A and B are shown apart, each in its own frame.
Chain A
Amino acid sequence: MAKTPENIAAPKDAPCGKMAVRRLTEERAGASLEAVKPQSGEVRNIFSARKDTAASHEMLVLRIAEHRDRSAFAELFSHYAPRLKSYLMTLGLDDEKAEDIAQEVMVTLWRKAVQFDPEKARLSTWLFRVARNRFIDHTRKQKYTEVDADDHVAHMVAPEQTDTPTLQRQYAERVSAAMAELKPAQKQVIELSFYHEKSHSEIAAELELPLGTVKSRIRIAFEALRKELRDMA
């Protein structure tokens, strides 16, 4: 668990100056603090919020829900908006549009914070889903039907686990590690699916592979990733 989070490792591409540095120091402060000080009291502003790493991202959402807490929002924004924008740009949006939609997704988080149930989904999963749907809505003018969105089965996240950032980071690290351990060919089909929204037949055409091979690669890759998700839950 002494691993460096990947966002710290990438300051050169990260948002310039202040923000990147701030995140860096905050993350470090957090990483060292959480070992010593598992719980602490109320959090009043963005800086103390980060020192108090007992507040996970999910807990910050609850603070928005209950207190309309702007500093909690600001903190989530500084973490997620740049990532959402980056993801949307990977999907092919230009800088401006990607930022617009990233902002919309974050505003949706503010609006729907009350409906967010940390026992049912991780925040990153929830944001991913909203960003995906907004992207499709925007680029294809289509509605992507949600799978019973308000009724996601509480299987992955035991309630007591949502509260600890350590576990949360472990979780992301383990799934990322599982991603990294996939064979390049398997990783490729997952990335083509998620980062480029390619269908099986589009992937098959692009890689000049039989359709069946593409499908089985996706299945095998997903099984490996899923095993990590399950082991954590």
Chain B
Amino acid sequence: MTSLLAADEAGRLLAEELAGRLPDARGRFGPFGGRYVPETLVPALDRLQEGVERWLHAEDFQRDYARELAGWAGRPTALTRANGLSREWGAEVWLKREDLAHTGAHKINNAVGQALLAKRLGAKRIVAETGAGQHGVASAAACARLGLPCVVYMGAVDMERQAPNVGRMKLLGAEVIPVTSGDQTLRAAIDEALRDWVADPMGTYYLLGSAVGPHPYPYLVRELQSVIGREARAQMLTAAGGLPDVAIACVGGGSNAIGLFHPFLNDGSVMLLGIEAGGRGSGLGDNAATLAFGRPGVLHGSFTMLLQDAHGQIQETHSVSAGLDYSGVGPEHALLQAIGRVRYEVASDDEALAAVDLCSRLEGILPALESAHALAGARRHAMEHPGSRILVGLSGRGDKDMSTLQATLLAERG
């Protein structure tokens, strides 16, 4: 289970991935993924999998989904040529504007898709977890739109640092339950949402917010988020006159990144670059850069890269951005790293804050701290490859980060 990929195995898996044959029937992306859950959840996951196979690509589901994305969530989102950043960095920078999607981030693409699926599965209530609150807000909004009761688990620490999002969820009709166990952040919130689901696996639908967890979630979330990459690819061809040289996205659990990358996997000329949260350094507990510093293991239902100690205990993480503050990562990213199709780097808290500052001043766009990691990666890439055409996934807007920005960027200005 812990063996690393041999060279011929990596080559075979790259071909499988490019051919769109992963995950396999067991929910595996090569060695990664799978379904490591308590027996109580096995029938619920079987049912979800049947629902995904039956509906996700069915015409009437896709019609409903497309209607909600266009008429309610504000898609397609714009592709913006970033003139100021292009001049500043000596490159051609394009921004895929998920910050313009309803509720302010890409999370809505997944939330409304899964809520539509939950309705078809006959779910009576929805549970969701949230870290920064963006997925909680998106879930609360989608449930309000579709008339489903919604319960959101959120770490007590996160509730304090993301208070405005707690208020938004409540206004949207969701019940927000503080999680005081574990590390009181996203990881504990997922644990608690899973416990809720274990208590009522047939009546409750668990609306997982990232491309993580047991099969079929990583696949389901990827399929729903791929709208980002499909739109961006078509928009680049039209607006920029060609594909980008590199597409860059931030990676926490990795849903916006897999959504941006997946439609570009077969474009061999397009380099794909994921940026993890480097926090304040490389030590255990100082960052949330799972692919850079982690080792393989099992958490939250899947075999993937994890930030853990030598005894297999999951470690707490640090990032200035709550949405990247997670000790695991989606299993497909673990595969894409292992087979070399995507390169993963880290950007520090300070680099991300500097990117918020620059993007706000030069583009008139206040990016989320998560998305600012992708911008920091873009800056570095531009320095190394002057003149290159760079597509950045701007996954969300930064309004939610005002209290963090008050305490950092704005405090420095006095």
- Say whether A associates with B: no
